[in-house]
Amino acid sequence: MPKLGRMAASVTAAGLALSLAAFQSHADESAELIIDGTTIATKAAAPEGSPLEENISGWRFRSAETQALETDDFDNPGFVAVDYGAELWEDAAGSSGKSCASCHGDASESMKGLRTSMPKWNDEKGTLMTLEDHINWSREEHQGADPWKWESPEMLAMTAFLGVQSRGMPVNVKIDGPAEEWFNKGKELYYTRVGQLDLACANCHEDNWGNMIRADHLSQGQINGFPTYRLKWQGLGSTHRRFKGCMDNVRAKPFKRGSDEFTALELYIAWRGSGLSVETPAVRN
């Protein structure tokens, strides 16, 4: 290699190393997530039976700049959707001519704690249901309205709005009774290697959390902040969108959003994050 080429290569390598070191130093390990005077638990004891000793929110693996976006609702880009969800809550829809508020009243009271328990078993439908499932069930059964698509602006806005009502409350899903079968299926999926890269969820988020992969700081893959505003997406996205993205990354054929597979996986991963506060809408890279 010519002398100039070697010098350029050295400068590039040095610059890359410095950039990586700077990126790794951005996250403030001592920082606390406080929103509107409420302290959000970003660390919690892992539930009995978990392979983790401590649950750590994805917020702690982000840069200081990204962390800061979540600490102020005015700066949080996901709050545009929350405001839209508040409008949808009051809007009459379907053949009933009723809004969500017509039956449920003030969401800050009637929906408080809902996000912490999702997904959960529904006796009437005889299946495990995500928050998205519950919203569409209510629209169809009680409002006589068409269901929303999983990743539609309306669905993301409503899940974000409902999630905010539980912000600061600990995740606490039920995995016993009829939900146990779904939990076990979700656990199986979590540890199953898939795709051309032959990787399972656990290979990144259990075996290597805290390490760098390319320019990303691997988290434990906790989902307590969904729907989440990702800078990469330039918008909100659901938990199942993130699942699909991971499967795409390992060159596997992803399951569909709302599928039994992703619903079971959501239950298992939610349980892994027990005790962490709901952060909706979280901000991530």
3-state secondary structure 63-109: CHHHHHHHCCCCCCCCHHHHHHHHHHHHCCECCCCECHHHHHCCHHH
Render pLDDT for 191-209 as a digit per residue (tens, 0 to 9).
999 999 999 999 999 999 9
**Given pLDDT bands bounded at 50, 70 and 90, which one contains residue 74?**
very high
In whole angstroms, what is the distance from residue 217 CA to residue 20 CA? 10
277 close to 169: Cβ distance less than 8 angstroms: yes
Work out the percent of the chain whose per-residue pLDDT is above 90: 86
pLDDT in the model for residue 134: 98
pLDDT in the model for residue 71: 95
Q: What is the pTM of this model?
A: 0.89
Taking residues 205-221, report their average pLDDT: 93
Work out the percent of the chain whose per-residue pLDDT is above 70: 89
Render pLDDT for 233-280 as a digit per residue (tens, 0 to 9).
999 999 999 999 999 999 999 999 999 999 999 999 999 999 999 999
Q: Do domains 38-76+169-284 and 79-164 have the same CATH topology?
A: yes
**Given pLDDT bands bounded at 50, 70 and 90, which one contains residue 149?**
very high
In the set 100, 201, 204, 246, the catalytic residue is 246
* Mode of pairing for the β-strands spanning 33-35 and 38-40: antiparallel
Catalytic residue status for 103: no
The partner residues of 120 in beta bridges, in order of sequence, read 129
pLDDT in the model for residue 27: 58
Q: Where are the domains of the chain?
A: 38-76+169-284, 79-164
Domain 38-76+169-284 CATH superfamily = Cytochrome c-like domain (1.10.760.10)
Question: What is the CATH number assigned to the segment(s) 79-164?
Answer: 1.10.760.10
Taking residues 123-139, report their average pLDDT: 97
pLDDT in the model for residue 28: 62
In whole angstroms, what is the distance from residue 113 CA to residue 99 CA? 21
189 close to 264: Cβ distance less than 8 angstroms: yes
Which tokens hold the place of 205? 């988020």
